[in-house]
């Protein structure tokens, strides 16, 4: 059988429809979208069409869409932009309470490491406890905000909508409401949720929301930060007036066109894809459970608040790295967690934050499915697991 790709949370194949939409802007319509002539105006019109397409799909206004190079930049702009804007607003006034950033230990490295960097720059950091699934509950956020209030003024809460390693879904709307009640803005990283769960800027009631194209059949190097009108934000990249002055630099027109098309397709086809992927995922879990009776699910189990196509599976007595290699040699492509940390020697920070021991975290592997996977592939993977896990 050809290679079975089960690492869709890391990246997805480029949808041919997205590639077709991008192609003209890689060749004949190559203009700088900020140039006044026809070639530039055509590129500019394509960028604005993509902005409107993204806004329509995600229930926001076009001027609330700020294009970025991906989810990591969007997260950086959200955290740095808000915290620096809050500090700037305090300049010249009598010294006030410290501005506190609240997040969790189960966030994507783009949030975790940015928050840690901000802490080194003088912004106190408070981590909300995550549950055994990898999500943050309202009660956990309330406790974290209480601790933040003892230090200073909570300025921003950043909690992901769907965990990239376990697939756990957070109650984002309720978390946003709680943050607002304490005077803090709310940011959610929706990179993994988009196309797999309902993502609506208005319904979540977030102030900022991050997305990325390459997780939904779009190109790498394209993303966006949705910013509620009126939200104070300092640009992370200066040197131009592009993107309402919040992101200097010439816009990557083909990538932005691809993002708009990918977002529209992901939202329109979400329900059908979710049903298909869920059926495949449960087939895989049922077959894998028979092949490996000692296997355990890290995160939400069947029926929990979770993404349909993500399983983080623990194989007691086995090294996740060894399993990854053995599966790869048989054409099954999976991962140990976030792609940016998958080659690191240390165990997953998400699984550790959930309460797993280092040994348990090191024996875990993530399987993340996409709509192009098949039943035959799921059966093949289960057979391979049985072979790989046979007594050594």
Tens-digit pLDDT profile for residues 211-230:
999 999 999 999 999 999 99
- Give phi and psi for 109, each to the nearest 5: -55, -30
Identify which of 213, 245, 234, 297 has the alpha carbon closest to the alpha carbon of residue 91: 234
Which CATH code is given to the segment(s) 16-268?
3.40.640.10
Q: Which pLDDT belongs to residue 90?
A: 84
Given a contact cutoff of 8 angstroms between Cβ atoms, the answer to whether 248 and 238 are in contact is yes
In DSSP terms, 154 is beta-bridged to 100
Confidence of residue 342 (pLDDT cuts 50, 70, 90): very low
β 99-104/125-128 pair status: parallel
Given a contact cutoff of 8 angstroms between Cβ atoms, the answer to whether 340 and 200 are in contact is no
pLDDT digits (tens, 9 = 90+) for 99-117: 999 999 999 999 999 999 9
Average pLDDT in the 46-58 region?
97
Q: What is the largest CA-CA distance in the chain?
A: 69
Given a contact cutoff of 8 angstroms between Cβ atoms, the answer to whether 33 and 250 are in contact is yes
Identify which of 219, 266, 260 has the alpha carbon closest to the alpha carbon of residue 370: 266
Identify which of 264, 269, 307 has the alpha carbon closest to the alpha carbon of residue 59: 264
Average pLDDT in the 379-390 region?
92
Confidence of residue 35 (pLDDT cuts 50, 70, 90): confident
CATH of 4-13+270-388, one of 3.30.70.380, 3.40.640.10, 3.40.50.360, 3.90.1150.10: 3.90.1150.10
Average pLDDT in the 354-373 region?
96
Q: Which pLDDT belongs to residue 339?
A: 52
In DSSP terms, 67 is beta-bridged to 224
pLDDT digits (tens, 9 = 90+) for 184-198: 999 999 999 999 999
pTM for the full predicted model: 0.95
Least confident of 100-109, 183-192, 241-250, 254-263: 241-250
β 4-5/332-333 pair status: parallel
User: How many distinct helices (H) and strands (E) make up the chain?
Assistant: 13, 12
87-91, 132-136, 261-265, 382-386: range with highest mean pLDDT? 261-265
Which residues are tagged catalytic?
340
Confidence of residue 94 (pLDDT cuts 50, 70, 90): low
- Domains of the chain, by residue range, sit at 4-13+270-388, 16-268
């Amino acid at each position: 059988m050809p290679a079975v790709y089960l690492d869709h949370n890391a990246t997805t194949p480029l949808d041919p429809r997205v590639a077709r939409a991008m192609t003209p802007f890689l060749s004949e319509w190559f203009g700088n979208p900020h140039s006044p002539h026809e070639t530039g105006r055509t590129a500019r019109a394509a960028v604005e069409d993509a902005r409107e397409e993204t806004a329509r799909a995600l229930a926001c206004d076009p001027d609330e869409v700020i294009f970025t190079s991906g989810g990591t930049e969007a997260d950086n702009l959200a955290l740095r932009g808000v915290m620096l804007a809050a500090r700037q607003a305090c300049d010249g006034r009598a010294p006030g309470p410290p501005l506190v950033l609240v997040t969790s230990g189960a966030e994507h490295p783009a949030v975790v490491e940015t928050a840690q960097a901000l802490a080194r720059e003088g912004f106190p950091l408070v981590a909300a406890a995550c549950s055994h699934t990898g999500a943050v509950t309202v009660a956990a956020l309330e406790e974290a905000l209480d601790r933040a209030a003892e230090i200073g003024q909570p300025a921003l809460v950043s909690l992901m909508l769907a965990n990239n390693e376990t697939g756990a879904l957070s109650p984002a709307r309720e978390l946003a409401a709680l943050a607002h009640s304490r005077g803090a803005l709310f940011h959610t990283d929706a990179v993994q949720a988009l196309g797999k769960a309902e993502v609506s800027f208005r319904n979540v009631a977030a102030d900022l929301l991050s997305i990325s194209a390459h997780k939904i059949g779009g190109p790498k190097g394209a993303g966006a930060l949705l910013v509620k009108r009126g939200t104070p934000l300092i640009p992370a990249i200066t040197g131009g007036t592009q993107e309402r002055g919040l992101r200097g630099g010439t816009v990557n027109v083909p990538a932005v066109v691809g993002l708009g098309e990918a977002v529209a397709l992901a939202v329109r086809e979400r329900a059908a894809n979710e049903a298909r992927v869920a059926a495949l995922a449960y087939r895989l879990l049922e077959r894998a459970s028979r092949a490996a009776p000692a296997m355990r699910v890290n995160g939400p189990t069947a029926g929990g608040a979770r993404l349909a196509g993500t399983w983080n599976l623990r194989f007691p007595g086995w090294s996740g790295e060894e399993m990854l290699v053995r599966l790869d040699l048989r054409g099954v492509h999976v991962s140990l967690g976030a792609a940016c940390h998958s080659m690191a020697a240390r165990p997953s920070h998400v699984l550790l934050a959930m309460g797993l021991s280092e040994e348990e975290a090191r024996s875990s592997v993530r399987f993340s499915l996409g709509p192009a996977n098949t039943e035959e592939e799921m059966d093949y993977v289960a057979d391979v697991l049985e072979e790989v896990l046979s007594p050594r």
